[in-house]
Amino acid sequence: MSFQYTQLSRPQLEEIADVVLNRYSHRCSGCLVDIEGIVEDAEIEIIPRQGGLIKYVEGYAAHNPRYIIVPEVGMSYSPRYRPVVAEEFCHIVLEYDFLKCGLPLEAHADGLTAQQHADIEADARYLSLAILFPRSKFTIAFNQCLELRGKSSADRDKNIRACGETLENKFQVWSLLVGSRARDLALITPEECKRNFSNRLLM
């Protein structure tokens, strides 16, 4: 299967996330979206691979879209593992028009330019967070957490970081991606996201 990929808008990606979450609503409980269960229902198999794969990638969708490959060593920490599975699932959703057509019997997604590859990577990353952090639930949870923290401290940065830790546990997705989703939904500024999440990884 050779095709051209055109980057989607964020509202379009949010709509796709809503379709996924509605179709697999039985896999959603409270804040937790059971992405592994969704993948199972989609008849996609997650295959752990031993060796040094983790040095190169955190996971990838195989040429056969019925398989997602992940490094075995990366499966031990759920908040880091689940986003990898979600992003690779989103590659399959976007590249194979999975929600409309299902999984093809035989397919090989190729023919992408470097720019198209970058576009689909960005879209899969955004879509994965929109699925793992459903917009309405996440917005309410983040704002409630920030408001609660604000009652005991006026330090907004400290409160933002505390909300990241709290919501990492609620959504079972690591705090850096909590910050990314909050930034994407304009709950915090890009500068606050860098200062309290991504930049802190370098410390």
Residues 15, 82 share a domain: yes
> Given the DSSP bridges, would you call strands 67-71 and 60-61 parallel, antiparallel or unpaired?
antiparallel
Assess if residue 3 is contained within a domain. Answer: no
Tokens of 122: 């960005």
Residues 178, 116 share a domain: no
Query: What are the angstrom distances between the C-alpha of 70 and each of 47, 49, 59, 88, 203?
Result: 6, 6, 4, 9, 28
Residues 120, 49 share a domain: yes
At 175 the three-state DSSP class reads: helix
Residues 45, 127 share a domain: yes
Residues 142, 192 share a domain: yes
Last residue in a domain, options 103, 132, 161: 132
Residues 192, 152 share a domain: yes
Residues 117, 20 share a domain: yes
Residues 113, 179 share a domain: no
Note down pLDDT in tens along the chain; length 203 residues: 446 778 999 999 999 999 999 999 999 999 999 999 999 999 999 888 755 454 444 666 656 788 888 877 656 788 988 999 999 999 989 888 777 766 666 555 556 677 877 888 999 999 999 999 999 999 999 999 999 999 989 999 999 999 999 999 999 999 999 999 999 999 999 999 999 998 655 43
Q: How many domains, the chain?
A: 2
Assess if residue 167 is contained within a domain. Answer: yes
Residues 144, 180 share a domain: yes
Assess if residue 2 is contained within a domain. Answer: no
Domain of residue 174, residue span: 135-202
Residues 75, 33 share a domain: yes
Assess if residue 55 is contained within a domain. Answer: yes
Write the Ramachandran bin of 101: left for phi over 0, alpha for psi from -120 to 50, otherwise beta: alpha
Last residue in a domain, options 105, 132, 159: 132
Tokens of 68: 């997602």
The CATH number assigned to the domain holding 27 equals 1.10.10.2910
